[in-house]
Chains A and B, each alone.
Chain A
Amino acid sequence: MTRSVWKGPFVDGYLLKKAANARNSSKNEVIKIWSRRSTMLPQFVGLTFGVHNGHKFIPVLVTEDMVGHKFGEFAPTRTFYGHAADKKAKRG
């Protein structure tokens, strides 16, 4: 069952404070978070979070498309092994 709309999106309270602090400071730092269950809000767009995956922090730069998704979706907890083959990466 989907979450009731009247409740609004779930976000851990401390995360809002951390995001506000990061916005106010001019330094471009990565915000360490363990709250994989929190929803990405519009005010997080442009910030980079280090989302804990159980043993390290995965950098997640929040973009507009990610709003409404949970942080945990972008930091898999299982180790991924694959072949490079012809796969490409684009420097952002």
Chain B
Amino acid sequence: MTAGVQRPTDPAALRRRATAAVARSAAGERAVAIVLGLVLLVGGTLVALLSYGVFGAGRASRPLLDPMIVAALQAQPLVARFAAIACGLLLTVLGIVWAAHALRPENHPDLVLGPLAAAGDTSVVVSAHAAAEAVAAQAGELPGVGRARARLVGTEAAPAMRVTLWLTDDANVRDVLARLHSEVLTTARASLELTELPVAVRLELDHPHPRPRVA
């Protein structure tokens, strides 16, 4: 799907994309931490209970590597070995996927402009950096905004903009947001040929005058 022939999306989806653009998602990492934490918590608790004889004194006094289990494994050495290899491979792949997922940099999609892309072998690509810089420069000009930074995030099919505004002392928040919406973002959507561009705005405060170190 190219940028020029986007279908209109329902407002709820746009809102979701705008909310997702607030910050890089940590949902995957949180899921890993919660699952691993639960496994360790439940396992540790069960072993401690077993060790204190809650499941019976006879069971608690058996060795950790129970001869019964060893005998069962030795009865089927090939199955046991393949099971061990499969578990090892699973752990390796899972661990590498978690680590790679957590370490990968955030995606900044470039935008392909519509009509030329549809015409054939010529296409105009606006880099994510250029598009974001244009929005940031315009937003920084608004009255009440000291400086601004923008990032294009999301995917090529569903890009979103993350804008951070550092407000000055005399800023009127309502006014700044209204002008950002009506002037900057409307221009950006028009010039990038996007019918929709969800935006997440982050408000910070500017430090206009650095304090003297010695008063």
Do A and B interact with each other, yes or no?
no
